[in-house]
Structure 1
Amino acid sequence: MSAGPEVLIGKALSSAASLELRTMAGRSVSPGAALLRSSRMFSMPAPIPPPPGDFSSATRHYSPTSTIPFPTHLTVTTTASSRVTGDWGFKRPLPLRTTTKTTYPLARVRQVDSVEQVTDFQSASDHTVTLWKYQEMNLPITVPIANAQDTFSTTKHLKSVFEEDSDLTALDDKQKVELVNKRWKFTGPWLAGMTNGDFKKFIEKKVRNRRADFRAFLKKIFAAEMSQKRAREAEAAGEPVPPEVSVDEISEDELTEYLRKLRQDRMTLYNLVSRFLDLAPVDLQTSLSMLGQLAPGTRLELARGSPYGADGPPITHPSAGLSYLRTRNFQENHALYGPQLNHAPVKARVLKPTNFTTNSFNPSIGVAGFVASMPTGDTSFNTSKQRNLSEFNSALHKLDLEKYGGSKVYVQPHMATVNSAGRILVNVEEANSESQLVQKELVGEGTIYDDLVKKGEIPQIPRNPRYTGSFSARPGSRIPGNAGNYGLGRSPRSYE
């Protein structure tokens, strides 16, 4: 993910380059050769830190073989001709028994030279294939919603993480204050996510020795407030605006008195401390309940909360390197049916169906390697909607042990975000019924008008998906498209 959770697929070194690298390592090299050795072409980047641990997992079952939320090592690949000989560009060939049994030549090298003088590696198909599957959905990464209860903004006002007002890192002091509720990068920590021990270490090492700098910072703030106060008084009296108050004009006694007033106004003091230490903002509701009310006679305008206030800012770029799309506003064109109103639905796996009798929990659906989040409201995913005997509803409420791999349903990906721990959160919605029929025909799961064609009738296809009452007749001799007609390697079905 960018410098963190992004999956990087690098070209493996050739055997000749590997031999030259081993020769250069045995003698002193020129500055140009040393620069080449440390480049991305002849070296692998150091692994990034692993994802933060979940303290609640200590009381739950944890699988040591489960896939971590994001990769920490570079993914290395090689050509098919080099793979059969075990040549992946390292000092020694990798064993064929392990590397040739996988579908894709993808390896994750944990250590080139271990204590046993072997190359410690493992398959990297888990994260790399997940990246491929996610990119096939053409789903951009959006900014998290500041208020989870705001369902209107969740569905209507999706905002890409690459927008100019939020994807900014090189900011001056004024811009940092103005964009505090929009930017994602901060030099200070997120206090709401720190443990008691980490908070004490932060106070001892980063805060306590900056007391003099904080007093100098407060002098500038106090001087600016006094200048604004004098300007308002002069404007009310009809007098010319006096010169601004300089920092040198403020005495230590005045600064001490200003500090006493700030102690009675905890919210203003917290904002000044956050501005000085560049702390990540906390949830607006939490700050209002913990910091208390404003001091008498003071006024503070509350801006819209930060989208990262509830769960903390991300550990890398909010896109996580998964997708660089800014929008999904494009129209897909079908070979036979023309431009489609909706995007092609995605087949998802039902990981855990809901209890059909008690409805004790919502179903869990896996999409492109992620456990998707169910939509809110009265939909077919939750338990508030009346049950029916449709194929979609039966798959969500019944555990089918006869199907290989479990039950699968078609869903429509809606949005995806990255939380503070580097986990990808994918939201799905119900897929349009006509889009499901078109997609099933495309992948060879049957034709849309199979029964009509077998009977020799003329299928009636809606001319405009928005108005299902408008139809256009297709010639009876025309066979609807299937996987073979689209060149997907399957022969067309024969009709009697």
Structure 2
Amino acid sequence: MAARPSRGASLLRTSRMFSVPKPLKIPDSGLGLHNHSASATTPFPLHLSVTTPDTSKNNGDWGFKRPLPLRQTTKSSTPVVRVKQVDSIEAITDYASASDHSLTLDKFHEMNVAISAPVLRYEKHKEGKISVFEDSSDKTTMDHSLDGAPNSRKWKFAGPWLASMSEEQFSSYIDKRVRSRRLEFRDFLRQRRADDLSRMASQAALDSGVTPISGHNLGCPEGPKLGIGGFVTNVPPGTTSFFHRFRDYDARSKVQGLSVFDPSVIGGASVYLIPQAARVLWNGSVVVKVDEAAAETQLIKREFTGRASIYTEKRGAPGVGDSSNRKDYRVQRSPESKQPTKRPYFGDKSVLGSSKTYGLRH
């Protein structure tokens, strides 16, 4: 029977210093993070973001072994840190600011859009979207009820386990599944070899000092990019304020400082957008789809912030004794001439509901 821990041990186990989880590992491939600096912002957070109340922050108390410097933590507008090592070999607390991912998360929550899985090309006609939190999209959690099933897998890898095959099963797998794809494999090797030769030629030209050929076409300039909630997205498609066709060039005014660079715009151009959807790609990047805000929507937004007024005219009720200035706001209907309803007359007698009334002939 295990001994009951003491009060000091229980207090340490529930403290923040011992409850910080281990940081996530960066994938070896797929994101290409090995080409960037170690201090660069990663596409997803690796360490836990830690915050503290204002009363404790003024004393440098963040719940760890030693207080953090007041000069760097109290003057920041976003007091959120990530701790890499609680107690390093230099007897210090290795920490850094975590405002990059924290502010991005707050901005994304303000957009109030759902994260959906990428839509396949042949499924674009479907109106519904698949959430990334559905069980069918989760490939990181093993379902133990499917242990031993032929199609059970943890990651998105298809194919049998070659190490568990016997010699007869391996030969049958080669004859039925692999040998028929020989031409496809040769095409793959040919493309791989072409890519290697292109890479070697580019490296040789770089070493020899050859000037690269400029691929930028001045006749087809690149379109502007938009930033919303900490994410970079493309301009809305179609004829909008960001893109003009030749016919309706004067239909809408261009956005100052965005369609055409204007250095006089302080802080860069700002426009109102409406986030429509957000989806996560296989490499972890988030793609946000936006639409242009209508003129009425922009006016209401500016009216909420006090930069515009919707109702500018003052309207008051006329005085009680002033009967001459009163105005009758009731709707005046034009008198219509009332004609008596006549029955259809055929000959010398009135016929009602007969075949002649509906234009039928005998």
Fold match by TM threshold 0.5 = yes
| Superposed displacement of residue 66, structure 1 | 4.5
* 2:128 equivalent in structure 1: 157
* 1:142 equivalent in structure 2: 116
Which amino acid in structure 2 is aligned with residue 135 of structure 1? Answer: H
| SS state at 1:438 partner | helix
1:415 aligned to which of 252, 256, 277: 277
The verdict on how the C-alpha distance between 1:214 and 1:94 changes in structure 2, with shifts beyond 3 A counting, is: farther
| SS state at 2:116 partner | coil
The verdict on how the C-alpha distance between 1:448 and 1:396 changes in structure 2, with shifts beyond 3 A counting, is: farther
The verdict on how the C-alpha distance between 1:389 and 1:33 changes in structure 2, with shifts beyond 3 A counting, is: farther
The verdict on how the C-alpha distance between 1:35 and 1:422 changes in structure 2, with shifts beyond 3 A counting, is: farther
Q: What are the within-5 Å matches in structure 2 for residues 469-488 of structure 1?
A: none
Distance 1:210 1:174 in 2: 13
| Superposed displacement of residue 434, structure 1 | 1.5
| Superposed displacement of residue 393, structure 1 | 3.1
Matched residues, number: 279
* 1:228 equivalent in structure 2: none
The verdict on how the C-alpha distance between 1:367 and 1:167 changes in structure 2, with shifts beyond 3 A counting, is: same
| SS state at 2:296 partner | helix
* 2:24 equivalent in structure 1: 48
Q: Deviations over 1:270-319 (max 9, x none)?
A: xxxxxxxxxxxxxxxx99x97xxxxxxxxxxxxxxxxxxxxxxxxxxxxx
* 2:229 equivalent in structure 1: 368
The structure in which a higher percent of residues are helix is 1
- Long gaps (5+) in structure 1: 1-27, 181-185, 192-202, 219-255, 268-285, 291-356, 459-472, 474-496
* 1:307 equivalent in structure 2: none
* 2:55 equivalent in structure 1: 81
Which amino acid in structure 2 is aligned with residue 210 of structure 1? Answer: S
The verdict on how the C-alpha distance between 1:442 and 1:44 changes in structure 2, with shifts beyond 3 A counting, is: same
| Superposed displacement of residue 421, structure 1 | 2.1
Q: What are the within-5 Å matches in structure 2 for residues 256-405 of structure 1?
A: 260-263=175-178, 265-266=180-181, 358-382=219-243, 384=245, 386-388=248-250, 390=252, 393-405=255-267
| Superposed displacement of residue 211, structure 1 | 2.7
Q: Report if the CA contact (8 A) 2:278-2:289 is conserved.
A: yes
The verdict on how the C-alpha distance between 1:378 and 1:115 changes in structure 2, with shifts beyond 3 A counting, is: same
* 2:337 equivalent in structure 1: none
| Superposed displacement of residue 141, structure 1 | 0.3
Q: Report if the CA contact (8 A) 1:392-1:409 is conserved.
A: no
Higher relative contact order (CA 8 A, sep 6+): 1
2:301 aligned to which of 431, 436, 439: 439
Q: Report if the CA contact (8 A) 2:61-2:67 is conserved.
A: yes
Q: Report if the CA contact (8 A) 2:117-2:281 is conserved.
A: no
Which amino acid in structure 2 is aligned with residue 363 of structure 1? Answer: P
Q: Deviations over 1:312-370 (max 9, x none)?
A: xxxxxxxxxxxxxxxxxxxxxxxxxxxxxxxxxxxxxxxxxxxxx95511211110011
* 1:183 equivalent in structure 2: none
Distance 2:104 2:157 in 1: 30
Q: Report if the CA contact (8 A) 1:134-1:368 is conserved.
A: yes
| SS state at 2:234 partner | coil
The verdict on how the C-alpha distance between 1:398 and 1:213 changes in structure 2, with shifts beyond 3 A counting, is: farther
* 1:115 equivalent in structure 2: 89
Deviates more, 1:167-176 or 1:47-56: 167-176
- Long gaps (5+) in structure 2: 189-217, 317-328, 330-362
| Superposed displacement of residue 402, structure 1 | 3.1
Q: Report if the CA contact (8 A) 2:240-2:252 is conserved.
A: no
Task: Calculate the TM-score normalised by the size of structure 2.
Answer: 0.62
* 1:172 equivalent in structure 2: 146
| Superposed displacement of residue 40, structure 1 | 7.8
* 1:275 equivalent in structure 2: none
Distance 2:130 2:13 in 1: 39
Q: Deviations over 1:363-402 (max 9, x none)?
A: 1111001112344445444465754485653343122333
* 1:302 equivalent in structure 2: none
| SS state at 1:82 partner | helix
Q: Deviations over 1:158-195 (max 9, x none)?
A: 33234465458536379985xx9xxxxx534669xxxx
| Superposed displacement of residue 65, structure 1 | 5.7
Which amino acid in structure 2 is aligned with residue 102 of structure 1? Answer: S
Distance 1:55 1:422 in 2: 12
Distance 2:78 2:164 in 1: 54
Does 2:210 match 1:210?
A: no
Distance 1:444 1:213 in 2: 78
Q: Report if the CA contact (8 A) 1:417-1:425 is conserved.
A: yes
Identity over aligned residues, as a percent? Answer: 36
* 2:346 equivalent in structure 1: none
The verdict on how the C-alpha distance between 1:74 and 1:259 changes in structure 2, with shifts beyond 3 A counting, is: closer
Which amino acid in structure 2 is aligned with residue 125 of structure 1? Answer: S
1:94 aligned to which of 64, 68, 86: 68
Q: Report if the CA contact (8 A) 2:257-2:263 is conserved.
A: no
Q: Deviations over 1:54-101 (max 9, x none)?
A: 55996xxx6776532111101111110111111111111111110011
Q: Report if the CA contact (8 A) 1:387-1:393 is conserved.
A: no
Does 2:1 match 1:30?
A: no
Distance 2:81 2:90 in 1: 19
